[in-house]
Structure 1
């Protein structure tokens, strides 16, 4: 097993222990020495795993004391960067599933033409996918993608990763996105496709995604259950 696989496996095992409550919030993880014995590995590998736990909000490393376990009732989604759902959940090791509820090729109306900055009547792929995380449907992703850049799509691709398809199969160079965050009342569609547990509002994240040549080719609305997610960014003062 490579060093990379080793510390990633340790990260996943410890993060799962924290999620299951084996290590409770405001308690300390075992010492680096104890973790070295448990996983039969070097202190350098343990420190890499602990750094990853810290970066993902599971622990706070405290000089001279150890690693303090933080509360994780809400899963963290980065504000900056363009990360697909599959990439994010794979990195955190969570049990996830995607259900494709809609895949249609339609003409744009005035509203959608405005969002995508394209001519009315342009053809777009319309996709609706519910994201299940640890048994609960907590995200509804709605995508509109210009067919001029993506000639064909299938439900199998949408259930897996459209970004992997865009980049690896179509050779699209996805460059940057403008994001907007609001809290909105739930819709009938939200109630039908999400496990809302009586919630009256959702967090709406709008993404306007551009290619390397600055062309806007995708508009996305990600509708998140309020109690499960927080959106984070990391900033360092220089």
Structure 2
């Protein structure tokens, strides 16, 4: 309900009510929001007040306006915490979501110079090349290209890379994953990303390159991932 005697502005009260309904699941992604007129008549407030509340939520990306159709609940982005080294599978399970992978390519190839340099191995040494689509609740989230030293991480199979590579490394091989360095950049999706992530042309993607090491400092993995910018965001806690 709207409290017209509250010191909190009416538009802010409405904004919070809509936001809470989105966050508690009463409104779901893709649902149409009632019109400004409907809100104004139901709450006995001005349409200008309603418009301000809705505009604020559009700016915060809780809502999306589609010309000629109305205002809809936006897809909420998955947030990945960058303070710890976890796998995609571990992240999704921690959120109560169902992770899955669609394996596009899995083979052993000779390491190209750039890959060999980043994995700290000799040129033409055998590496696993793994290309897969990362999904959450059946929705494509990222296109991932992974290169793993085959002399170090042995025995990989299709089944392993379609589940959790990190779990296999730690539980089956008895190795301890230590740390990783990552870089991020924003770019436009290429043809491959458009196809596999099911996004429109010129869509933005978040490109990530990660080099991962065991606890003894040995590099074992190079990952190049393209995340859907409309579905994913990253969070980092900083201390002074």
Matching of residues 87-106 of structure 1 within 5 Å: 87-106=90-109
Cα distance in 2 for partners of 1:158, 1:197 equals 28
Q: Which moved more, 1:174-183 or 1:227-236?
A: 227-236
Pair 1:22 & 2:26 matched:
yes
Following superposition, the deviation at residue 90 of structure 1 comes to 0.5
What TM-score comes out, normalization by structure 2 length? 0.67
Change (3 A) 1:196 1:20: farther
Counterpart of 2:134 in structure 1 is: 131
Measured in 1, the distance between the counterparts of 2:99 and 2:116 equals 33
2:113 aligned partner: 110
Unaligned runs of 5+ in 1: 1-16, 25-70
Give the count of matched residue pairs.
175
Hey, what does 2:216 align to over in structure 1? Answer: 213
Residue deviations 1:115-140, cap 9 Å, x none?
22221111100101101223321211
Q: Is the 8 A contact 1:100 1:159 kept in 2?
A: yes
Once residues 212 and 156 of structure 2 are traced to their aligned partners in structure 1, the CA distance between those partners, rounded to angstroms, is 18
Aligned mates of 2:113, 2:197 — CA distance in 1:
28
Q: Over aligned residues, Cα RMSD in angstroms? A: 2.2
Please say which structure displays the higher CA radius of gyration. Answer: 2
Aligned to 1:86: 89
1:217 CA drift (Å): 1.2
Q: TM-score, normalised by structure 1?
A: 0.67
Go from structure 1 to structure 2 and tell me whether the alpha carbon gap of 1:95 and 1:209 turns closer, same or farther (over 3 Å shift): same
- Residue segments in structure 2 that go unaligned for 5+ positions in a row: 1-20, 29-73
Q: Is the 8 A contact 1:19 1:72 kept in 2?
A: no
Is the partner of 2:86 in helix, strand or coil?
A: coil
1:225 aligned residue (212, 228, 232): 228
